[in-house]
Structure 1
Amino acid sequence: MLPRVPSVILPLLQDYVQLISSHIPEVVYGVYLQGSIALGGFIPGRSDIDFITVVSGPLTSDEINRIDLLHEHLKSKHDYYSVMEGQYTTLDHLRKTAPLEREQFPKYFYGENRGLTKGQIDDTALWILKKHGLTLLGPEVSDLDIHVGWPDLLKAMKYNLHTYWTEKADNYELFLQDNWVDDTVLTLGRIAYTLEHQSVVTKDQGGRYLMQTLPPEWHALIYEAMRIRQGMSENEYFPSIAERAAQTQSFIRYMVKVCTEQYHLDK
């Protein structure tokens, strides 16, 4: 197991590799990590365990059942399983040559089975896998021939800004929660960094980038997001969570506007 994998989640991942190798040995091709672990930004209690398991082709009902059984075993044994999320797919999906009508690949989100998907991997995850991915089982990431480039990542950033976060900005109640303040501010920092440097960094690095590039009026909110992510002491930057929520909404709209104008992003 690679030294870049945090020691606190090694037992879970070792068990997963052993179980997947024994439950579907005839079809499993490789197991890979992307997300915060691959980027070197995993924080226990805050980060997800983002996996991509590659199989040799469409799965039978029996193989899907065996996969679900092994996940249930992991759930009963490991506390960190609750933040394990990812999906099963094929090399054809990594190469973007797969027929899209196939819907036989399990997907897991925060440890729960989310049913079957077409096996497609979003372009941000593909980019992180290609550039930074960790191999737990099977061929090295560099041998997977992953098809993703800057135009794909740019399209994903535009969707995040103009659709996902623009829609979230209207939901005031979300931003009364600490985790939404943290995730919103630092993810938008990652998006801004990506647009400027054509690469993906951790949420913490996204926060530091915002501190370097945004005017002081936003610094309190950025500090607050970083405080939450690091699990530091109670809020000292806002008199109320209501004010913090309102500023988070304003921050989303500001970042969408600035990024759209600065990088000439058509909607």
Structure 2
Amino acid sequence: MNARIPTEIQPLISDFKDLLQSKLPNAVLGFYLQGSIALRGFNKKRSDIDFLIVVNHELTAGELSIIRDIHEELKQKHEYYMVMEGQYTTLGHLDKTIKKPQELYPNYFYGEYMGLRNGWIDPTSLWITKYHGISVLGPDVNEINIQVDWDDLLLAMKYNLHSYWTDKVKDYTIFLQDDWVVDTVLTLGRILYTLQNKEMITKEQGGYYLLAVMTNEWHSLINEALRIREGSELEMGFESIEERALHTLRFVLHIIDLCNEKYQLRTT
């Protein structure tokens, strides 16, 4: 087992690999891990287990049924299975040679089957897989022609800022929840780092990067996000969750404006 795979999840990954090999020997070309595990930032209490399964042909009804059985078996046996997120796909999707993608490929979110998708992988996941991915089964990621470049990643960053996060600030009450504070602050730290350095980092690293580059005005919120993420027993750094939520909303707007100005991301 690859030493980069955390010990806690090695039994799950090993069983997943064995089931793919034994039950789908003629269908599965490769099994890869990306996300926080690949970036060496797995948090056993909060991280997802992000995977890609590359198949070598359009899956038959029988093979699709076997895949669901495999996941059900893993679900019954492994606690960590419930944080697995991933997509079945093909080499044609990774090297972008496929012409007419069809919704033929299983997708999983927090361990649950989400139906068939078209197999496309988002630029952030492609980037992490290409430069940091862990091969569990099949060719090493360096041997796969994964087509993703900086322009693809930049487009994803623009979407995150101008669509996803811009939409979230329409209702500040979502920031009353601990998980939203963590994901918002630390993810925006990752985006800011990526725009500056053209590389991906973990959420925790995004938080510490923010502490290094942001003014003291935002440090209480950044430390709050890191406190929650790391499971610290220190008390909340705000008088109320309402105060924290409003500060989070202002932080989102500030980061969007900062990125627009510094990296010329404004849409025309």
> Hey, what's the Cα distance between the residues in 1 that align with 2:172 and 2:16?
39
Residue 30 of structure 1 contacts residue 136 of structure 1 at CA under 8 Å; is this kept in 2?
Answer: yes
> Hey, what's the Cα distance between the residues in 1 that align with 2:66 and 2:43?
30
1:189-228 correspondence to structure 2 within 5 Å: 189-228=189-228
What residue in structure 1 maps to residue 52 of structure 2?
A: 52
Residue 38 of structure 2 contacts residue 128 of structure 2 at CA under 8 Å; is this kept in 1?
Answer: yes
Deviation string 1:3-23 (CA, Å, 9 cap, x unpaired) is 000000000000000011112
TM-score (norm 2): 0.98
What residue in structure 2 maps to residue 162 of structure 1?
A: 162
Residue 8 of structure 1 aligns with an amino acid whose one-letter code is E
> Hey, what's the Cα distance between the residues in 1 that align with 2:235 and 2:90?
45
> Hey, what's the Cα distance between the residues in 2 that align with 1:231 and 1:204?
12
RMSD of aligned residue pairs (Cα, Å)? 0.8
> Hey, what's the Cα distance between the residues in 1 that align with 2:214 and 2:169?
19
Shift, 1:101, TM fit:
3.5
1:163-182 correspondence to structure 2 within 5 Å: 163-182=163-182
Q: Does 1:264 align with 2:267?
A: no
Deviation string 1:127-163 (CA, Å, 9 cap, x unpaired) is 0000100000000000011000000000000000000
What residue in structure 1 maps to residue 92 of structure 2?
A: 92
Q: Does 1:153 align with 2:156?
A: no
What residue in structure 1 maps to residue 2 of structure 2?
A: 2
What residue in structure 1 maps to residue 253 of structure 2?
A: 253
Q: Does 1:66 align with 2:66?
A: yes
> Hey, what's the Cα distance between the residues in 2 that align with 1:175 and 1:262?
26
Residue 78 of structure 2 aligns with an amino acid whose one-letter code is H
Deviation string 1:188-225 (CA, Å, 9 cap, x unpaired) is 00000000000000111111111111110000000000
Residue 44 of structure 2 aligns with an amino acid whose one-letter code is P
> Alpha carbons of 1:168 and 1:235: their partners in 2 closer, same or farther (altered >3 Å)?
farther
Residue 228 of structure 2 aligns with an amino acid whose one-letter code is I
> Hey, what's the Cα distance between the residues in 2 that align with 1:201 and 1:48?
15
What residue in structure 1 maps to residue 78 of structure 2?
A: 78
Runs of 4+ off more than 3 Å: none
Residue 129 of structure 1 aligns with an amino acid whose one-letter code is T
Give SS of 2:175's match: helix
1:225-236 correspondence to structure 2 within 5 Å: 225-236=225-236
Residue 50 of structure 2 contacts residue 85 of structure 2 at CA under 8 Å; is this kept in 1?
Answer: yes
Structure 1 unaligned blocks of 5 or more:
none
Shift, 1:233, TM fit:
1.1
Residue 195 of structure 1 aligns with an amino acid whose one-letter code is L
> Hey, what's the Cα distance between the residues in 2 that align with 1:150 and 1:266?
17
Shift, 1:234, TM fit:
4.3
Shift, 1:171, TM fit:
2.3
> Alpha carbons of 1:30 and 1:101: their partners in 2 closer, same or farther (altered >3 Å)?
closer
What residue in structure 1 maps to residue 16 of structure 2?
A: 16
Q: Does 1:142 align with 2:142?
A: yes
What residue in structure 1 maps to residue 32 of structure 2?
A: 32
Give SS of 2:170's match: coil
Give SS of 2:221's match: helix
Q: Does 1:111 align with 2:114?
A: no
Shift, 1:176, TM fit:
1.0
Shift, 1:169, TM fit:
1.4
